Amino acid sequence: MTTDCNKYIIYRFNLSDTKAVKPMKHHICLFCLTAAMFIIDLRWTSADEAPPRIVTISTLCFLDDADCRTDQYALGQIENAARRQQHDLVVTPCMPFLSFRESHEKVDLARFASLAKSHATYLAIALTETGAADQTFLTAVLFDRSGQIVGKYRKSHALADETLTLGDALPVFETDFGVLGMSLTTDFYFPEVYAVQRMHGADILLWQHYPERFREHSQWVPLLKARALDSHTHFVTAMYADPRTYLANRYVQGMQGAAWGRSMILNRVGTPLADTGYEDGVATSVINLDKRKREVHPPWYAAENIFFCNCLGDRKAFQPIAQPWTKPKLPAFRKRKARVAVGYFWHQDAWHNDRVPEVMFRVLDAAAECRPDIVLLSEMGAKIENETTQQVARMVGERARQMNSYIIIGGLGDKEQMSVARVWDRQGRQVFAAPIYWTKGFPELKVFDTDFARIGIHSCGDLYTGEVDRVLALKGAEIIFDPSQHWGADGENNELLLRARAIDNGCWVACAHWNSSDPGFRSLIIDPYGYVMAASHFQQEGAVFVDIDFDRQKVYYAGRKDSQPQRGDTDIAAYVTEDVPQQHAGWRDYIFARRRPELYGIIPTTNEVIMRYRPEKGPWE
């Protein structure tokens, strides 16, 4: 007999409801902890082994309204949330309308400290800090259960319109239940922040936000998935909600969009455990920081809620992340508009040793009908080292020449690498090879210049190591190709990660999958905003394509738009702020230039945290 005694217990309530809530949490947890002494699924068996860390967390969602930008409102919301049950951590959104003085924290923040002490909970707040030398910081402050300050984090990354003094560290903070990492507002757009904090041992990551001048939320869902899964940490967001109906931005009409709401607690693979929705309130979850599923992929650690691949390399190829960035100089391409195609078919028809893959060539012929500039196929299972595979390679080259198209095929190994993505040019020559990285790593990740764009390639499980795509993008890759054969965890999780890689790096992503998994698992072409522009048909063979103009860059918003609509008291005009920023092309250069490589030195290293997820020696080394 086995029993799962560590189920999540989730509460959600509205801050305006002041009736006492008496959850059965304590009774349930007591029963679970008692029952755990007798079940064979026991996580600890002796006094020498620590019990699991069961933690109650609440994250607040404030109203985005002028009347609510006061210390009385903030203190009241914290009090209303904290008094409902015993907490381990309460998190507020960022409150830049409140401030404290450097070296005067004890006096200026006394009321927040008193709340933490009276409710015996850790409390994370974020507000403006006035420095001793007249600097202005945006600072997160963590109080412990006695009201003492555990530490401060000063916002470390800023966009063009943020006139702040930046902090120069990405610290983590010890609590009595685990290690916390903190981030503020637009830090979120820099995945390196979370990679560093994860490598310093963070168990929980916090993102305390304040509504931006122009609100673009469609990209947040895949990014939240990636932030949690890449870090293997729980992720807590604290937001603001508009008191009116949620409404997206509409730049042409000068509508900046309503605040999102959705303060959330996500688990280690990015699944929301509690969510306030598009309104103010509190999201509460009781989580077991030590719970893991059974390992099914030894000898490397894979005991998360969903399938993922661990990076088994030494991470030296990630050095460009920690080095100063200069925009790469691209060659004078012959053309900049290109038709990108992805072919798809069944796994049993893949290219293997000692046979000619007739279906693969049939799919290439189908792709040829759309006159592509480049075709991507999935990860195969062949090694180009015998007469048959060499013959097939020559046949692929001939198809590329006939089609006047580049062809990319993954999973074509050799004596050194189990899986290599190979590129044939328009003349049928093999001109580039990109080995799979996660299985054992190698010193350098390379990009390749076609006659229309700079490309990068990652294969299959490389998707789960975000640093791979980051390096390719830093080196100028405008599209990243992913020949893949895995089927886990499912189509939704896979698609969200692919979309996140496109969004974070401001580039196109094209992925070729087999048709052997769930209906959500498709071959995809994704634009730099994370939107799926083309997808394969389910359980069919064929090809899809998208025409791409590589000179058309992802946009960002900064400065102030010349023409501003007038704010009104009712209807749509009531949403208007009269402060909509100007739209500009070049999002990637804009973000990359504001990275802080001097803070990322730990990323291209291997430390104790990394070794939790991999053996001393990988099976393919």
Nearest CA to 170 out of 149, 159, 160, 184 is that of 184
Q: Is residue 257 part of a domain?
A: no
Spatial distance between the Cα atoms of 183 and 170, rounded to a whole number of angstroms:
9
For 285-302, the pLDDT digits (tens) are 999 999 988 876 666 666
Residues sharing a CB contact under 8 Å with residue 118, sequence separation 6 or more, in sequence order:
none
Domain with 35, as residue range(s), is 1-54
Of the three residues 516, 551, 586, the one that is the final residue of a domain is 551
Q: Is residue 327 part of a domain?
A: no
* pLDDT score recorded for residue 294: 80
Interior angle at CA 605, CA 599 and CA 606, nearest 5: 135
Residues sharing a CB contact under 8 Å with residue 440, sequence separation 6 or more, in sequence order:
312, 313, 618, 620, 621
Q: Is residue 525 part of a domain?
A: yes
Total-model pTM: 0.91
Spatial distance between the Cα atoms of 145 and 123, rounded to a whole number of angstroms:
8
Domain with 357 in it: what CATH number? Answer: 3.60.110.10
Cα 129 to Cα 102, 108, 133, 163, 383, distances in angstroms: 6, 10, 11, 13, 60
Six-digit token string for 513: 């999958």
Buried b (16+ CB within 10 A) or exposed e, 492-531: ebbbbbbbbbbbbbbbbbbbbbbbebeeebbbbbbbbbbe
Cis omega (within 30 of 0) for bond into 331: no
Of the three residues 14, 35, 54, the one that is the final residue of a domain is 54
Beta-bridge partners for 64: none
Strands (E), 87-221: 89-101, 122-130, 136-143, 149-154, 172-174, 179-184, 204-208
For the chain, how many structural domains are there in total? 2
Cα 88 to Cα 85, 122, 123, 257, 286, distances in angstroms: 10, 6, 8, 34, 9
Q: Is residue 547 part of a domain?
A: yes
Q: Is residue 386 part of a domain?
A: yes
Stated as kind and residue range, the H or E segment containing 556 is strand 555-558
- Per DSSP, helices labelled H in 64-122 are 71-82, 105-108, 110-118
Of the three residues 12, 33, 54, the one that is the final residue of a domain is 54
Q: Is residue 607 part of a domain?
A: no
Cα 122 to Cα 194, 274, 298, 467, distances in angstroms: 21, 19, 37, 32
User: Contact 15/282 with Cβ under 8 angstroms?
Assistant: yes
Six-digit token string for 188: 């979120």
Spatial distance between the Cα atoms of 10 and 265, rounded to a whole number of angstroms:
10
Dihedral sign from CA coordinates of 343, 349, 355, 361:
negative
Cis omega (within 30 of 0) for bond into 489: yes
User: Contact 555/583 with Cβ under 8 angstroms?
Assistant: yes
Nearest CA to 351 out of 389, 387, 385, 386 is that of 389
Six-digit token string for 193: 């922040």
Nearest CA to 493 out of 280, 314, 270 is that of 270
* pLDDT score recorded for residue 11: 37
Cα 506 to Cα 273, 388, 528, 542, distances in angstroms: 29, 40, 5, 28
* pLDDT score recorded for residue 48: 63
Q: Is residue 47 part of a domain?
A: yes
User: Contact 297/603 with Cβ under 8 angstroms?
Assistant: no
Q: Is residue 587 part of a domain?
A: no
User: Contact 246/278 with Cβ under 8 angstroms?
Assistant: yes
Six-digit token string for 356: 């000619």
| Coil, strand or helix at 618 | coil
* pLDDT score recorded for residue 179: 98
**Exposure of 439 in the CB half-sphere (CA atoms within 13 A):** 15
* pLDDT score recorded for residue 38: 34
Q: Which residues of the chain have pLDDT under 50?
A: 1-46
Spatial distance between the Cα atoms of 457 and 411, rounded to a whole number of angstroms:
12
* pLDDT score recorded for residue 543: 97
Spatial distance between the Cα atoms of 386 and 375, rounded to a whole number of angstroms:
25
Spatial distance between the Cα atoms of 541 and 524, rounded to a whole number of angstroms:
14
Residues sharing a CB contact under 8 Å with residue 614, sequence separation 6 or more, in sequence order:
300, 301, 310, 311, 312
